[in-house]
Amino acid sequence: MNFRNIVKSVKTGVVHFAIQKLQKLREYNVQAHIEIEDKKFTRIESEKDLEELEEHAEEIRIKTPFPNEVVAETVEFADDISWEEEAIMVASMQNNNIEDDVPDQVLRGESVDEDDELEFEDGWYPDEGNKRPHIESIKEWIKNVKWSNMNDYDLFVEYRERFGLDPQKRQKISYRQKESLLDSTAFLIARKQWYLGRKPSSMTDFDWDERTRDKRPTAGSFSKNDYMYKAYDRNYEYKSGDRDIMEEKLKEGESVRW
């Protein structure tokens, strides 16, 4: 084997190693991708992608995005950590938990309470002619479950963050503010469900994304002011939980239009 073939073999091995690790991370529901220079590869879709990765094999990095509250520079893993151990730790920091999504009962339009055993076995597919999300059930779930451990001071902090208000002294949320927060939270949750669906617990986020990304409803089909919010098109990477929803900002006094 000549030197050129040896180099190519090494580069091919580096690429295959990166792809195998990416697959292992995703088995634990870790959001991850391969990066070279400024280019991101969420999936390898062609021979051309493989050739480009091999060409830049020495630059390959596997990236696992963290929430804003996690300072990536402070995250370090032991040299001898296994892929499985690393995946478990990263998954806990990314916090893509299906338990923060609407449960099966709410998908069916049923009532839920704080003490109910919530189920996540069904899938709500955006391409199967579903009716609109059950808004009243979503609101009831928010009040009875998501807000069950939050007092009026906590809710005001969430209201302030939702509407991008400057920090203020500790205070309780008013009735009007709470209703506005409830409406906006239900709107954002229902909007995500409409465009992205909700995966069953038996699937990873990546598998669900592969299954549904080309079958998402047309932009603007959910509400009259869809244009104000992030685009849930085929390029949006599905994530369980509500972290991306909670990052959406509205203007105070702004109404959501269904």
H or E, element range at 62: strand 61-63
Helix/strand/coil for 39? strand
Bridge-based pairing of strands 33-36 and 61-63 is antiparallel
Cross-strand pairs, 125:
none
Q: Would you state the pLDDT for residue 17?
A: 92
Q: Would you state the pLDDT for residue 243?
A: 75
- Nearest-Å Rg of the Cα atoms of the chain is 21
Lowest-confidence range among 3-7, 144-148, 195-199, 206-210? 3-7
Please state, for a pLDDT cut of 90, what percent of the chain lies above it. 52
Which position has the token pair 């465009």? Answer: 195
Q: Would you state the pLDDT for residue 80?
A: 80
Q: Would you state the pLDDT for residue 192?
A: 93
Measured CA to CA, the distance from residue 239 to residue 43 in angstroms comes to: 15
Bridge-based pairing of strands 39-41 and 61-63 is unpaired
| 56 class by beta-carbon count within 10 Å (0-12 exposed, 13-18 middle, 19+ buried) | middle
- Average pLDDT over the chain, rounded to an integer: 87
Nearest by Cα to 81 from 19, 40, 24: 24
Q: Would you state the pLDDT for residue 253?
A: 54
Q: What is the mean pLDDT of residues 96-102?
A: 89
Hey, what are 94's tokens? Answer: 């990314």
Q: Would you state the pLDDT for residue 7?
A: 73
Give the confidence band of 251 by pLDDT, cuts at 50, 70, 90: low
Q: Would you state the pLDDT for residue 248?
A: 72
Q: Would you state the pLDDT for residue 258?
A: 54
Instruction: Kindly report the pTM of this predicted structure.
Output: 0.81
pLDDT tens per residue across span 54-90: 989 999 999 988 776 665 556 677 778 898 998 888 8
pLDDT tens per residue across span 13-57: 999 999 999 999 999 899 899 999 879 998 888 889 999 999 899
